[in-house]
Structure 1
Amino acid sequence: MAADRTGQIVVAFISERTGEDAEGYAIAAQAMDALAARQPGYRGIDSVSSGGVGITLSYWADEAAAVAWRNHPEHAETREAGRGRWYKWYRLHVAEIGRSYGWDRG
Protein backbone atom coordinates (compact mmCIF):
# COMPACT_ATOMS: atom_id res chain seq x y z
CA MET A 1 0.00 0.00 0.00
CA ALA A 2 1.45 3.38 -1.00
CA ALA A 3 2.06 5.87 1.80
CA ASP A 4 0.69 9.38 1.56
CA ARG A 5 3.75 11.56 2.11
CA THR A 6 2.05 14.94 1.59
CA GLY A 7 3.67 17.53 3.85
CA GLN A 8 6.72 15.42 4.65
CA ILE A 9 10.26 16.51 3.92
CA VAL A 10 12.12 14.42 1.35
CA VAL A 11 15.90 14.34 1.24
CA ALA A 12 17.07 13.13 -2.18
CA PHE A 13 20.63 11.78 -2.16
CA ILE A 14 21.99 11.06 -5.65
CA SER A 15 25.49 9.62 -5.87
CA GLU A 16 28.07 7.75 -7.88
CA ARG A 17 30.22 5.27 -6.01
CA THR A 18 33.93 4.72 -6.54
CA GLY A 19 33.67 0.93 -6.32
CA GLU A 20 36.24 0.92 -3.52
CA ASP A 21 35.61 -1.06 -0.33
CA ALA A 22 32.24 -2.52 -1.33
CA GLU A 23 32.02 -4.54 1.89
CA GLY A 24 32.68 -1.49 4.06
CA TYR A 25 30.10 0.47 2.12
CA ALA A 26 27.47 -2.26 2.56
CA ILE A 27 28.09 -2.40 6.31
CA ALA A 28 27.93 1.38 6.66
CA ALA A 29 24.78 1.66 4.52
CA GLN A 30 22.99 -0.97 6.60
CA ALA A 31 24.06 0.76 9.82
CA MET A 32 22.85 4.16 8.56
CA ASP A 33 19.50 2.70 7.47
CA ALA A 34 18.99 1.24 10.95
CA LEU A 35 20.17 4.42 12.70
CA ALA A 36 17.93 6.67 10.58
CA ALA A 37 14.91 4.46 11.34
CA ARG A 38 15.39 5.12 15.06
CA GLN A 39 15.45 8.92 14.70
CA PRO A 40 12.50 11.07 15.77
CA GLY A 41 10.51 12.17 12.73
CA TYR A 42 11.77 9.40 10.42
CA ARG A 43 9.04 8.37 7.98
CA GLY A 44 10.76 5.92 5.62
CA ILE A 45 13.21 5.42 2.78
CA ASP A 46 13.21 4.44 -0.89
CA SER A 47 16.43 3.54 -2.69
CA VAL A 48 17.58 2.30 -6.09
CA SER A 49 20.97 1.87 -7.73
CA SER A 50 22.31 0.82 -11.10
CA GLY A 51 25.78 0.90 -12.57
CA GLY A 52 27.28 2.62 -9.53
CA VAL A 53 24.77 5.48 -9.49
CA GLY A 54 22.25 5.48 -6.67
CA ILE A 55 19.23 7.49 -5.62
CA THR A 56 18.06 7.37 -2.02
CA LEU A 57 15.02 9.26 -0.82
CA SER A 58 14.58 9.59 2.92
CA TYR A 59 11.36 10.98 4.33
CA TRP A 60 11.04 13.11 7.48
CA ALA A 61 8.12 14.54 9.42
CA ASP A 62 9.51 18.07 9.21
CA GLU A 63 12.59 20.17 8.48
CA ALA A 64 13.83 19.93 12.08
CA ALA A 65 13.88 16.12 11.89
CA ALA A 66 15.79 16.19 8.58
CA VAL A 67 18.34 18.65 9.99
CA ALA A 68 18.75 16.57 13.15
CA TRP A 69 19.55 13.55 10.94
CA ARG A 70 22.09 15.58 8.94
CA ASN A 71 23.75 16.64 12.19
CA HIS A 72 23.70 13.24 13.94
CA PRO A 73 27.33 12.47 14.95
CA GLU A 74 27.38 8.89 13.59
CA HIS A 75 25.80 10.02 10.33
CA ALA A 76 28.35 12.85 10.02
CA GLU A 77 31.22 10.40 10.63
CA THR A 78 29.91 8.02 7.96
CA ARG A 79 29.36 10.93 5.54
CA GLU A 80 33.05 11.85 5.88
CA ALA A 81 34.07 8.22 5.26
CA GLY A 82 31.91 8.29 2.13
CA ARG A 83 33.61 11.42 0.84
CA GLY A 84 37.01 9.88 1.41
CA ARG A 85 36.33 6.38 0.15
CA TRP A 86 32.97 5.44 -1.35
CA TYR A 87 31.72 8.32 -3.50
CA LYS A 88 33.02 9.97 -6.68
CA TRP A 89 30.36 12.63 -6.14
CA TYR A 90 26.96 13.17 -4.61
CA ARG A 91 24.15 15.69 -4.78
CA LEU A 92 21.58 16.35 -2.10
CA HIS A 93 18.19 17.99 -2.58
CA VAL A 94 15.69 18.76 0.18
CA ALA A 95 12.04 19.56 -0.50
CA GLU A 96 8.61 19.50 1.04
CA ILE A 97 6.22 17.11 -0.66
CA GLY A 98 3.22 19.07 -1.87
CA ARG A 99 1.21 16.14 -3.19
CA SER A 100 1.56 12.40 -2.80
CA TYR A 101 -0.39 9.43 -4.10
CA GLY A 102 0.26 5.94 -5.35
CA TRP A 103 -1.12 2.90 -7.06
CA ASP A 104 -0.57 -0.78 -6.38
CA ARG A 105 -1.45 -3.75 -8.61
CA GLY A 106 -3.95 -5.89 -6.70
Structure 2
Amino acid sequence: MNDDRAGQIAVIFVSIRNDADAAGYGEAAVAMDALAATQPGYRGVDSAREAGGMGITVSYSADDAAAIAWRHHPEHTAIRERGRALWYDSYSVKVARIERAYQWTRA
Protein backbone atom coordinates (compact mmCIF):
# COMPACT_ATOMS: atom_id res chain seq x y z
CA MET A 1 0.00 0.00 0.00
CA ASN A 2 1.15 3.50 -0.80
CA ASP A 3 0.70 6.02 2.03
CA ASP A 4 1.48 9.04 -0.20
CA ARG A 5 -2.01 9.33 -1.69
CA ALA A 6 -3.06 12.81 -0.51
CA GLY A 7 -4.89 14.61 -3.32
CA GLN A 8 -5.61 11.47 -5.31
CA ILE A 9 -9.10 10.29 -6.20
CA ALA A 10 -10.25 7.03 -4.59
CA VAL A 11 -12.98 5.04 -6.32
CA ILE A 12 -14.38 2.61 -3.74
CA PHE A 13 -16.16 -0.39 -5.26
CA VAL A 14 -18.03 -2.62 -2.78
CA SER A 15 -19.55 -5.71 -4.34
CA ILE A 16 -21.40 -8.91 -3.54
CA ARG A 17 -20.30 -11.70 -5.90
CA ASN A 18 -22.33 -14.76 -6.74
CA ASP A 19 -20.93 -18.17 -7.69
CA ALA A 20 -21.48 -17.85 -11.45
CA ASP A 21 -18.56 -18.31 -13.85
CA ALA A 22 -15.71 -18.00 -11.32
CA ALA A 23 -13.08 -18.70 -13.99
CA GLY A 24 -14.45 -16.02 -16.30
CA TYR A 25 -14.59 -13.54 -13.43
CA GLY A 26 -10.98 -14.25 -12.51
CA GLU A 27 -9.81 -13.80 -16.10
CA ALA A 28 -11.73 -10.54 -16.44
CA ALA A 29 -10.34 -9.22 -13.15
CA VAL A 30 -6.75 -9.91 -14.23
CA ALA A 31 -7.38 -8.31 -17.64
CA MET A 32 -8.99 -5.19 -16.10
CA ASP A 33 -6.16 -4.80 -13.56
CA ALA A 34 -3.60 -4.93 -16.38
CA LEU A 35 -5.56 -2.54 -18.59
CA ALA A 36 -6.20 -0.07 -15.76
CA ALA A 37 -2.47 0.06 -14.98
CA THR A 38 -1.80 1.39 -18.50
CA GLN A 39 -4.26 4.28 -18.25
CA PRO A 40 -3.11 7.90 -17.84
CA GLY A 41 -3.50 8.97 -14.22
CA TYR A 42 -3.58 5.43 -12.79
CA ARG A 43 -2.02 5.40 -9.32
CA GLY A 44 -2.77 1.89 -8.01
CA VAL A 45 -5.36 -0.39 -6.48
CA ASP A 46 -6.06 -2.18 -3.19
CA SER A 47 -8.51 -5.07 -3.10
CA ALA A 48 -9.89 -7.72 -0.74
CA ARG A 49 -12.66 -10.31 -0.95
CA GLU A 50 -14.05 -12.51 1.80
CA ALA A 51 -15.16 -16.11 1.33
CA GLY A 52 -18.85 -15.17 1.43
CA GLY A 53 -18.52 -13.04 -1.70
CA MET A 54 -18.24 -9.48 -0.38
CA GLY A 55 -15.34 -7.56 -1.89
CA ILE A 56 -13.90 -4.09 -1.61
CA THR A 57 -11.67 -2.61 -4.29
CA VAL A 58 -10.22 0.88 -4.01
CA SER A 59 -8.67 2.23 -7.19
CA TYR A 60 -6.60 5.40 -7.14
CA SER A 61 -6.36 8.04 -9.86
CA ALA A 62 -4.32 11.21 -10.12
CA ASP A 63 -7.46 13.30 -10.60
CA ASP A 64 -11.17 13.16 -11.28
CA ALA A 65 -10.68 13.34 -15.05
CA ALA A 66 -8.57 10.15 -14.99
CA ALA A 67 -11.18 8.33 -12.86
CA ILE A 68 -13.97 9.39 -15.23
CA ALA A 69 -11.94 8.38 -18.29
CA TRP A 70 -11.48 4.88 -16.82
CA ARG A 71 -15.20 4.62 -16.05
CA HIS A 72 -15.95 5.36 -19.72
CA HIS A 73 -13.19 3.18 -21.22
CA PRO A 74 -14.90 0.85 -23.76
CA GLU A 75 -13.37 -2.40 -22.46
CA HIS A 76 -14.11 -1.45 -18.85
CA THR A 77 -17.69 -0.59 -19.81
CA ALA A 78 -18.14 -3.98 -21.52
CA ILE A 79 -16.79 -5.86 -18.49
CA ARG A 80 -18.97 -3.80 -16.13
CA GLU A 81 -22.04 -4.85 -18.14
CA ARG A 82 -20.88 -8.48 -18.07
CA GLY A 83 -20.45 -8.19 -14.30
CA ARG A 84 -24.01 -6.95 -13.88
CA ALA A 85 -25.32 -9.78 -16.05
CA LEU A 86 -23.24 -12.63 -14.57
CA TRP A 87 -21.03 -12.04 -11.56
CA TYR A 88 -22.53 -9.53 -9.13
CA ASP A 89 -25.64 -9.66 -7.01
CA SER A 90 -25.08 -6.01 -6.11
CA TYR A 91 -22.44 -3.32 -5.94
CA SER A 92 -21.97 0.28 -4.92
CA VAL A 93 -19.40 2.87 -5.96
CA LYS A 94 -18.22 5.86 -3.96
CA VAL A 95 -15.76 8.47 -5.23
CA ALA A 96 -13.69 10.56 -2.81
CA ARG A 97 -10.66 12.83 -2.77
CA ILE A 98 -8.02 11.67 -0.29
CA GLU A 99 -7.13 14.41 2.18
CA ARG A 100 -4.63 12.44 4.28
CA ALA A 101 -3.19 8.93 4.26
CA TYR A 102 -1.44 6.93 6.97
CA GLN A 103 0.25 3.57 7.03
CA TRP A 104 1.76 1.37 9.71
CA THR A 105 3.77 -1.84 9.29
CA ARG A 106 5.09 -4.13 12.01
CA ALA A 107 8.87 -4.06 11.88
TM-score bracket, shorter-length normalisation: over 0.9
Query: What is the TM-score with the length of structure 1 in the denominator?
Result: 0.97
Distance, in Å, in 1 between the alignment partners of 2:99 and 2:3 is: 14
Alignment correspondent of 1:66: 67
Deviations 1:56-105 (A, max 9, x none): 00000000000000000000000000000000000000000011121122
Are residue 46 (structure 1) and residue 50 (structure 2) matched? no
- TM superposition shift of 1:2: 3.8
Instruction: Count matched residues.
Output: 106
Partner of 2:60: helix, strand, or coil?
A: strand
Query: What is the TM-score with the length of structure 2 in the denominator?
Result: 0.96
Equivalent residues in 2 for 1:25-104, closer than 5 Å: 25-50=25-50, 51-104=52-105
Divergent runs of 4+, >2 A? none
- TM superposition shift of 1:3: 2.8
Whether the aligned pair in 2 keeps the contact of 1:2 and 1:104 (CA below 8 Å) is no
Identity of aligned residues (%): 60
List alignment gaps of at least 5 residues for structure 2: none
Distance, in Å, in 2 between the alignment partners of 1:3 and 1:31 is: 26
Whether the aligned pair in 2 keeps the contact of 1:9 and 1:66 (CA below 8 Å) is yes
